């Protein structure tokens, strides 16, 4: 059976060029902190990759801190600002990836949730009302693109509100980098997280982008790696692979209209069969489709599509094994019964028209069978 991979928001397939670069780096000797020739060569590969990341997201010079992935970057931003007392409270949007509220809860600081609107965007009026009461420095966490609906958040507007109130802005850009243009400076972010495996890079490598002179205590200590900001021997092969993925991101960005057209075909097929589409009235990632189908649980949809050779997910991959409704859909006003019938279909750099065709054929037929069985 031909398989059709429609779960790029969970992990996008690693690009062949990245595999080759990682394998080549693994064949080379040297610790990037060593001063001998092999060590200097390894360090040069790390710094070349750092520059590629910096250019892709317009990060400041010396602003890219390599991490073990997006979750570590989130942990570092939240705990690094909390540990040195530079913020006294954390605000989290109701639609953040679970890693954000999860890590916020362990900082020891008070945490307040900012609600979302039914269209999937953060409520800026609620944000302004909440932060205007603060008399001490705080951190606001808002993702750039939602991992379930694909809704692109008004980060620049939120950052202006936050900065006017004396706060700092953290942006989780894990789902956005490599799929839409991302400009750290224009977003108004103080801290920004990204990860390689969402756009064709290796799993297990990411970065935290931080502005110059911002208060950020290291949370991993030991050696002086990453300019004393993140201890631990560099994973040179993975970092090299991340750099290559950044080089190749232009290809995905150039295919945005094509990918969006495939997404829209799948959306039309689902809507014609009775599905509800979430986030469709706002700007979304080109390859993300989030739907609910009354009476057709997310788990049943996932299994039905898997048997038909199509990989999708029920919500975030990090929580898709948990039997509970999506917190993102719940924050948008979806009731628990309908939220349990939600799935996410996501395209990416390797997606083809045949992948979209397979969904347009198999998903409506599966939903029709489910409705007939329930009648």
Active site residue ranges: 318
Give the pair of three-digit tokens for residue 314: 């029920």
Cβ atoms of residues 140 and 168 within 8 Å: yes
Q: Which distant-in-sequence residues (6+ apart) come within 8 Å of 54 by Cβ?
A: 60, 61, 63, 64
CA distance 215 to 223: 20
339 HSE (CA, 13 A, CB side)? 18
Name the residue among 184, 189, 182, 186 with its Cα closest to residue 214: 189
Give the pair of three-digit tokens for residue 141: 């966490």
Q: CA 35 → CA 30, 31, 49, 169, distances in Å? A: 9, 9, 19, 37
CA distance 57 to 182: 5
| Radius of gyration in angstroms for the set of CA atoms belonging to the chain, rounded to a whole number | 21
Q: CA 67 → CA 219, 236, 309, distances in Å? A: 11, 12, 34
Name the residue among 301, 345, 75 with its Cα closest to residue 208: 75
């Amino acid at each position: 059976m031909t398989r059709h991979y429609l779960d790029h928001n969970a992990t996008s397939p690693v690009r062949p060029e990245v595999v080759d670069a990682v394998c080549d780096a693994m064949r080379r000797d040297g610790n990037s902190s060593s001063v001998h020739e092999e060590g200097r060569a390894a360090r040069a590969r790390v710094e070349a990759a750092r520059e590629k990341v910096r250019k892709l997201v317009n990060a400041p010079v010396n602003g890219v801190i390599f991490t073990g992935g997006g979750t570590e970057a989130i942990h570092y931003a939240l705990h690094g600002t909390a540990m040195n007392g530079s913020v006294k409270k954390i605000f989290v949007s109701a639609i953040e990836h679970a890693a954000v509220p999860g890590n916020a809860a362990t900082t020891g600081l008070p945490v307040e949730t900012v609600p979302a609107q039914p269209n999937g965007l953060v409520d800026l009026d609620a944000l302004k009302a909440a932060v205007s009461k603060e008399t001490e420095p705080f951190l606001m966490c808002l993702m750039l693109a939602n991992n379930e609906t694909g809704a692109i958040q008004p980060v620049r507007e939120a950052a202006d509100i936050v900065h006017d109130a004396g706060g700092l802005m953290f942006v989780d850009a894990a789902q956005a980098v490599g799929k839409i243009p991302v400009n750290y400076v224009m977003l108004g972010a103080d801290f920004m997280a990204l990860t390689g495996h969402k756009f064709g890079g290796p799993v297990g490598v990411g970065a935290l982008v931080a502005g110059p002179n911002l208060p950020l205590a290291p949370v991993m200590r030991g050696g002086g790696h990453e300019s004393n900001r993140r201890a631990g021997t560099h994973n040179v092969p993975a970092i090299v692979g991340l750099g290559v993925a950044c080089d190749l991101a232009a290809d995905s960005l150039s295919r945005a209209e094509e990918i969006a057209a495939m997404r829209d075909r799948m959306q039309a097929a689902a809507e014609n069969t009775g599905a509800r589409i979430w986030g469709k009235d706002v700007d979304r990632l080109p390859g993300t489709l989030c739907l609910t189908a009354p009476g057709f649980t997310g788990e049943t949809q996932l299994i039905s599509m898997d048997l038909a050779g199509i990989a999708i997910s029920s919500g975030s991959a990090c929580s898709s094994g948990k039997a509970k409704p999506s917190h993102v859909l719940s924050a948008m006003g979806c009731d628990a019964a309908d939220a349990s019938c939600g799935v996410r279909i996501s395209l990416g750099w390797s997606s083809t028209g045949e992948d979209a065709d397979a969904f347009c054929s198999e998903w409506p037929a599966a939903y029709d069978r489910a409705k007939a069985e329930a009648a």
